């Protein structure tokens, strides 16, 4: 249920930002996406969860809406609770999720809005499984 609510909140914002944010701003988020990928490789679910949330917070912060960032981060944290508390997420799953962050950034930097839209929808659809 939390993943569904997250998607309802975040997907429209991501899609709006994809059209509005200049490529140079997206490039600045690459270290956060890379940190998420590095955390996935270590297999530390708690570290991965924090890096994942940091990436999502940074994206949503581009909206300039602090309330949105706070609400979405709370939903994200609550939906990750089993992941951070135990071995629920498999490293391969975490790596695939982190790779989606990098692919999203690549599409956004390239201003490929069709790919970005597809990747955003797929990224959030995966969180509902």
Which tens digit of pLDDT belongs to each residue from 85-120? 444 455 568 899 899 999 999 999 999 999 999 999
Output phi, psi for 28, to 5 deg.
Answer: -65, -20
Residue 49 in contact with residue 84, Cβ under 8 Å? yes
Residues 30-75 have pLDDT tens digits of 999 999 999 999 988 889 999 999 999 999 999 999 999 999 999 9
Residues in the chain: 129
Separation of alpha carbons 101 and 43, rounded Å: 17
Model pLDDT, residue 127: 62
Domain range for residue 85? 2-127
Separation of alpha carbons 19 and 38, rounded Å: 28
| Residue 34 CB neighbours (<10 A) | 16
- pTM of the complete model: 0.87
Separation of alpha carbons 54 and 117, rounded Å: 21
16 has a pLDDT exceeding 60: yes
Domain count, the chain: 1
Q: What is the CATH number of the domain that holds 99?
A: 1.20.120.530
- Across the range 13-41, mean pLDDT stands at 95
Model pLDDT, residue 85: 44
Token pair of 81 as six digits: 């609770």
Query: Across the chain, where does the E strand assignment appear?
Result: none
């Amino acid at each position: 249920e939390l993943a569904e609510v997250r998607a309802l909140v975040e997907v429209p914002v991501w899609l709006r930002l994809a059209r509005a944010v200049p490529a140079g701003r997206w490039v600045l988020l690459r270290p956060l996406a890379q940190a998420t990928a590095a955390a996935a490789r270590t297999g530390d679910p708690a570290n991965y969860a924090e890096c994942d949330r940091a990436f999502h917070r940074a994206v949503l912060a581009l909206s300039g809406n602090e309330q949105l960032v706070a609400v979405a981060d709370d939903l994200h944290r609550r939906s990750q609770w089993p992941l951070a508390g135990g071995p629920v997420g498999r490293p391969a799953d975490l790596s695939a999720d982190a790779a989606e962050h990098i692919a999203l950034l690549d599409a956004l930097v390239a201003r490929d809005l069709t790919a970005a839209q597809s990747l955003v929808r797929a990224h959030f659809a995966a969180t509902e499984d």
